[in-house]
Chains A and B, each alone.
Chain A
Amino acid sequence: MHIIKLTDVSYSYKVPAEDDSYTWQVGVKNIDLEIEQGSFVALVGHNGCGKSTLAKLLNGLFVPHSGKVEVAGMFTDDNKSIFNIRSNVGMVFQNPDNQMVTSIVEEDIAFGPENLGVPQKEIVERVHWALAKVGMSEFARRTTTRLSGGQKQRIAIAGALAMHPQVLVLDESTAMLDPQGRKEVLEVVHSLNKEEKMTVILITHFMEEVLGADKVVVMNHGCKVTEGTPMEVFSRSRLLEEVGLKVPRTIELARRLKSAGWNVDENCTDATELGDRVCQLLHNN
């Protein structure tokens, strides 16, 4: 069953031109997309391809100029449902420093439920639950300023979780992190997807990050170019190249060896394993 459904969605930005008039610049164009409840979807594309615009359409920060965005049976152009939609679709943005509302960790996480008018006692429970889910319980009373980038993003995730959403959207939330921070964030969202059956939409241009996804959606110039399982998408390497993306190195090597006649697993993601297999083949003959 789908939790989010986009039908022919388009959105453009107003760009001021030289005289007092303005022109329109395409954000996304004619997007059709269904996202299954409980699935892990990766959305990839080069910078400026429209993936962040798409993210903001998912919780009604932007309302489509044409087409419909349906979230859990509600439509984002219906003003009455907007808060219901936003509490259902938690968002985490790119810059960890620009999404904190207060400087105490637990108070920041409480911001969402406070806005929703959740009773005080329940907020405390939600905050503790959310902190535990991102593995940061001991940071409840700390200030946000001296956390690492990865920790800040986990707090931002907890802030979204405290609204009890069904969907979590990460809008390039790993782009500014170091490898350690990226790992932390990915571990948290994967475990949320598995344990809490949370629907996750991960927007990224690190192709290694899409490996664990159920579905990959590739975008270019505001349009959906292709979608499928990670391996299906990686097999369209020419297309990926055209839109400025790259197959992860190990898979690229495996696929090239395979097409040169080596009997290796073309979906191999572990370089050591691939090396072992190559040696095995060499020894056998």
Chain B
Amino acid sequence: MFRDVTFGQYYPSDSFVHKMDARVKLLLNLVYLVGIFFVVSFVGFAWITLFLLVAILASRVPVRNVLKSVKGVLFLLFFTVILNIFFTKGDNLLVKWWIIEIYAEGLIFAGKMFLRLSYLVIGSSILTLTTTPVDLTHALESLLKPLTWIKVPVHDLALIMSLALSLIPSLINETDRIIRAQKARGADFDTGGLIKRAKAFVPILIPLLVSSFRRAEELAFAMNSRCYEGATHRTCMRVMKLSWRDFLGTSVVLVFFVAVFIVYGTQTTWGTAEQLGWLYF
């Protein structure tokens, strides 16, 4: 059984994107997520596709791995598409059967919704495929540091995240072990009604809870032994430095999305939504 949560989806490589600073990648991902909402036409999506292809190429992650991330939200995508096809009303009726009416507008709207959602996921997965969760944690801590001024315990939150990342794998192993042990004692998790099944989880949850408390206690001893006393006087081994890659990467992304904004963003503000009609969305 292989479930290495520490790595998350991380795909090890030495590519341009991998070597970029995690903070920059995180911010650029935000730009992308916002930017994609300005794209309203299929031509726009074609440009985004080109953009994603360039990003994937620069990350040297196989396209197959990137597409795999969409698999996780496939159900959601399917559901959205179906809903939009059946419930979007418009002027161009294509099919009418019993109470079902399908309009061309519905099809186009569903297609765009599909593209938008899957591109959201693909874009974010380029971030997680090229950045380890540990690096992401560091990036978040660094970016949120200003919030310490308004008493947000940024360092503690980051530490909790990093502790969770290091404990989750052993917790998963532990769960797996307990499930096996209880199965060996004849426990049945697969049959029976809802209540019976819910009850069947008690013999897993209780040992898991007990062992989590034990872990927490031991971890506290271990951290205290290594002189932990919160964020005060703390230094950090990891230095995050910006390189030419970060400037180049940022320029490319910004230029691209400024262009997107100029083309589509202006149309919205000028109120061309009505003129575009169903083409808008």
Q: Determine if A49 is an interface residue (Cβ-Cβ < 8 Å).
A: no
- A241 CA to B187 CA, complexed, in Å: 41
A99: nearest chain-B partner, CB-CB? B222
Q: Are A102 and B237 in contact (CB under 8 A)?
A: no
> Is B184 close to A, CB under 8 A?
no
CB atoms of A116 and B227 under 8 A apart = yes
**By the criterion CB–CB under 8 Å, are B224 and A86 in contact?**
yes
Within 8 A of B (CB), among A99-120: 99-104, 106-108, 110-120
Among A42-90, those with CB < 8 Å from B are 56, 59, 61, 83, 86-87, 90
The 8 residue pairs across chains A and B that have the minimum distance between CB atoms:
A99-B222, A110-B237, A91-B225, A112-B226, A98-B218, A117-B233, A97-B170, A103-B166
Q: Is A127 an interface residue when CB atoms closer than 8 A count as contact? A: yes
Determine if B222 and A98 form an interchain contact, defined as CB atoms under 8 angstroms apart: yes
Who on chain A is nearest to B236 by CB?
A114
20 more contacts with CB within 8 A, not counting A98-B222, A101-B159, are: A61-B225, A95-B218, A97-B167, A98-B215, A99-B222, A100-B166, A101-B162, A101-B163, A101-B219, A101-B226, A102-B134, A102-B165, A102-B166, A114-B235, A114-B236, A117-B233, A117-B234, A119-B235, A123-B235, A160-B225
CB distance B235 to A120 under 8 Å? Answer: yes
Name which residue of chain A comes closest to B10, CB basis: A143
| Interface flags, B225-249, vs A, CB<8A=1, else 0 | 1111100011111110000000000
Residue pair B226, A86 in contact (C-beta under 8 Å): yes
Residue in B4, B169, B215, B223 whose beta carbon sits within 8 Å of that of A101 in the complex: B223
A-B contact count (CB 8 A): 113
Do the beta carbons of A143 and B6 come within 8 Å of each other?
A: yes
Partner-A contacts on B (CB < 8 A) = 4, 6-7, 132-134, 159, 162-163, 165-167, 169-170, 214-215, 218-219, 221-229, 233-239
Task: Identify which of B159, B165, B222 contacts A91 (C-beta below 8 A).
Answer: B222
Residue of B222, B228, B234, B239 most packed against chain A (CB within 10 A): B222
Q: Taking the nearest CB of chain A, how far is it from the CB of B175, in angstroms?
A: 13
CB-contact partner of B226 in A94, A111, A123, A145, under 8 A: A111
State in angstroms the CA–CA spacing of A115 and B230 once bound together. 8
Interface size class of A (residues with CB under 8 A): 35 or more
Encode contact with B along A111-140: 1 for CB under 8 Å, 0 otherwise: 111111111100110010000000000000
The chain A residue sitting closest to B217, CB to CB, is: A98
What is the distance, in angstroms, from B223's C-beta to the closest C-beta of chain A?
6
Q: Is B166 within 8 A of A87, CB to CB?
A: no
Asked if A145 meets B227 with Cβ closer than 8 Å, knowing A102-B134, A114-B234, the reply is no
Contacts A106-B237, A114-B234, A120-B237 given; indicate if A86 touches B227 (C-beta within 8 A): yes
CB of A159 closer than 8 Å to a CB of B = yes
Q: Are A99 and B239 in contact, with the CB atoms below 8 A?
A: no
Contact B221 A61 (CB under 8 A): yes
10 chain-A/chain-B pairs, Cβ below 8 angstroms:
A83-B229, A87-B227, A102-B134, A103-B169, A107-B238, A110-B238, A112-B226, A115-B226, A120-B236, A146-B4
Chain B CB within 8 A of A39 CB: no
B226 touches A107 (CB 8 A): no
Residue A234 lies at the interface, judged by CB distance under 8 Å to chain B: no
Residues of B within 8 A of A118 (CB): 235
Least distance between B25 CB and chain A CB atoms (Å): 18
A101-B223, A102-B134 known; A145 vs B6 contact (CB < 8 Å): yes
Q: Is the CB of A144 within 8 A of B227?
A: no
Residues of B within 8 A of A61 (CB): 221, 224-225
Using Cβ atoms and an 8 Å threshold, which residues of chain A touch B218? 93-95, 98-99
Q: Are A59 and B4 in contact (CB under 8 A)?
A: no
B218 to chain A: closest residue by CB = A98
Contact of B237 among A99, A123, A145 (CB under 8 A): A123
A93, B236: Cα distance in complex, Å: 24
Which residues of chain A come closer than 8 Å to B224, judged between CB atoms? Answer: 61, 86
- Please name the residue on chain B nearest to A85 by beta carbon: B227
